[in-house]
Amino acid sequence: MQYVWGRFWVNNHAHVLQGANGVSTEHLMLGLQRLDLTPYVTGAVQAKLNQANLFRVPFVIPSSPVATAFAAEVESLYAKLRNNKAQAQVLADIRDALLPRLISGKLRLPEVEAALETP
């Protein structure tokens, strides 16, 4: 199970689920992550969860006030998670761009060179 946002490509062997009727997508994901889906998976060689079996998976739908309160609690946590992952990707991109140039010597950092020269 993956939590995704923004643009992404899904192949025909995946289910894309979104919350509805007062249940947030994050609530749905957290609820399904805690379940053992093994009894719903079919296929001897390639395990799969077909749509019919997916609809058989039990999911307790809370009252509207409970769902709203839960969504309010997890909303900021998942906003922070999305922001952190985006920030980590930017940092990884910068690292991937700079590291080869640093290693090859095409990029020099005068502060570092000065620190290495002083005893």
d(CA 79, CA 71): 12
| Predicted pLDDT of residue 88 | 97
| Predicted pLDDT of residue 45 | 86
| Predicted pLDDT of residue 41 | 92
Percent of the chain with pLDDT over 70: 98
Whether the per-residue pLDDT at 46 is higher than 90: the answer is no
| Predicted pLDDT of residue 16 | 92
